[in-house]
Structure formats: structure tokens, C-alpha cells
Amino acid sequence: MTTAEHREVALRDGRRLAYLEIGSGEGKPIVHCHGAPSSRVEGALVFDPAVATELGVRVVVPDRPGMGRSDFQRHRRIVDWPSDVKELADALRLDDFAVLGSSGGSPYALACGAALRGRVRRVGVLGGIAPLDAPGMMAAVHGPLRAMVRLARGAPPIARGLFRLNLRAMRGGGGANDRMARMFPEPDRTLLQRADIREEFMACFEEACRRGARGAVWDLGLLGRPWGFDLAALDLPVELWHGERDRNVPVAHGRFLAGVIPGCRATYYPDDAHLSTFVNHRRELLAALAA
């Protein structure tokens, strides 16, 4: 396996967990926790298969429950995710691995670091969101995302309806996609003018809602609840990367996480935003996580 492959595993409770693999099948494994709302196809946006293969890295990107091809899990919490990751790692015979969380995937990656001691060797946080119950963190989030998190928690049917409207607008193309791109700061706006980047970006959301919006809305709502573990108790290497022009998840979130997590090594990019941090620094992220 040297490019990208979509697969599934059966979990002990009968659910199916879908995942994407990128890179070298014999390489150092990295489990990537996608953003919210997103899906395993985010791997095509964040990772370059040729670079992953060159660096000897095997990237595994699972769909969280209810998104993409993974089955929904009732009453799911953030701290339930490490159990799914452990079962996936066991099925793939991964003795130890790094975990990367991007954007709204950061709590899931950090939860794995807290729960899977001895299996997770390193955690990466890429443009990651901080706990929204921490002082000032909810207010710092971009207004539309803040509104959607609150709706996902307090009025899920309305949030699901808005997700369906967004999907319809995206599939309609044309002006809706141009308006979406204009909402982003530079350099993300320029990146989204590239057809390949724009299509991969939109595919993340569309695949998240493959079976309807229930799973994606539940996932988003969890960001507005307590994460269920202590960031200050993490005792493994944590790498953090954040663009200072990020308006979706402002750099205040990255600085908060770096200040709370013991020994966190943070890198801030003054000229990058949310999407460009993913796209422009693929090689160094993979190299650091494979170290």
C-alpha cells in the first residue's frame, strides 16, 4: 500500500469503523483524527501520499462514529474515542503509533494520548481547538462556528437542517462556493481558488454527511461539552502547530493548549491561517510525528 486505500474494520460491539490509509504500509504509523465536521477523506487534503511514502510513514485516518462510512454510536463522548482507536490499532497490528488531531479533532487526539499510555508515542495538534469551557475560548471561536456548536448542543434538529442546506448549496456550485471562499482569510482564500484544494475541502464535509447529518452534528456538539480528561496530566511528547492568521480556530486556542499541556512544543506560523497550515507544512508535520 503506497498511495491511499479505503477500508473498514468490525468493532467488538458490532459497529463498523471505516478508515483511509495513506503512505507506506510498512512505515511508522500515525493515526489522524479529522476535524469537525469532516471525515476520513480529509487525509487527501492534509497528507501527500508521495511525501508519506518517502518519509516511511503509514497514515491511518478513521471516520468517527456516524460520519463517512462509520456506524453511529449512541451517547458517544470524546473519551470513548480511544477505545475505537485501540481496536483499530489492534486490528492493524500497530504496537505503538503517533496520533495527530486537526482543528476539531484535537480533543480526540489528546484523549488518545491520555488514555492509551504505552501505545501512543507522540501527539500532534494541528490548528487545534481548545476546551470551549475554558475562559475566553468560546468567545474566541469564529462566530459561525460558535453558533453551530451551540445549535448542535441545544437544538440538534435545527443544526441538522442547516447542515443539509449547506450541502445543497455546495452541490449547487457556482456562487455559493465563491462566497464560502471569501469568508476565509488569506492565504486560505487563495488556496480555495485552486480546484483540487476546494474539491478536497468540500469532500470532507460531504462525506461527513454521507448517512445524514446526525453523526456530524453530534460530533460538533461534543466540542461544546467538557472533554472528560485532564490536559495537565498528559505525560508524553506533544507537538503543536498553529497559523497566527487562523480565524476559524484563532491562535489563542493554540496558545492556551501549549500553556496547559506539560512540555508541549509549539510552532506558530505568522503568515498561515487554518487551511494553509495544513497544506504548506505537510512534510515537517509528518517528519516530526515520525521522529
C-alpha cell at 222: 461534543
Q: Which amino acid is at 54?
A: E
In angstroms, the Cα distances linking 83 to 66, 119, 136 are 16, 12, 31
CA atoms within 13 A on the CB side of 251: 15
Give the Cα separation of 276 and 108 in Å (integer): 22
Q: Which residues contact 270 (CB under 8 A, 6 or more apart)?
A: 244, 245
SS3 30: strand
Helix/strand/coil for 23: strand
The pLDDT profile of the chain, 291 residues, written as one tens digit per residue, is 445 678 999 999 999 999 999 998 889 999 999 999 999 999 999 999 999 999 999 999 999 999 999 999 999 999 999 999 999 999 999 999 999 999 999 999 999 999 999 999 999 999 999 999 999 999 999 888 899 999 999 999 999 999 999 888 877 766 666 666 677 888 998 988 888 888 898 899 999 999 999 999 999 999 999 999 999 999 999 999 999 999 999 999 999 999 999 989 999 999 999 999 988 998 999 999 998
pLDDT of 173 reads: 64
- pTM (two decimals): 0.94
pLDDT reported for residue 142:
86
Contact of 258 with 268, CB cutoff 8 Å: no
User: What pLDDT score was predicted for residue 193?
Assistant: 86
Say whether the peptide bond before residue 187 is cis (omega within 30 degrees of 0): yes
Distance CA 20, CA 204 (A): 12
Q: Which three cell numbers stand for residue 210?
A: 454521507
User: What local confidence, expressed as pLDDT, does residue 2 receive?
Assistant: 41
Strands annotated E in the chain: 4-10, 16-23, 28-33, 57-62, 97-102, 120-126, 238-243, 265-269
Integer-rounded Cα Rg, in Å, for the chain is: 17
Give me the residues paired with residue 62 across strands: 19
Contact predicate 97/31, CB 8 Å: yes
Reading the block at residue 196, the C-alpha cell is 483540487
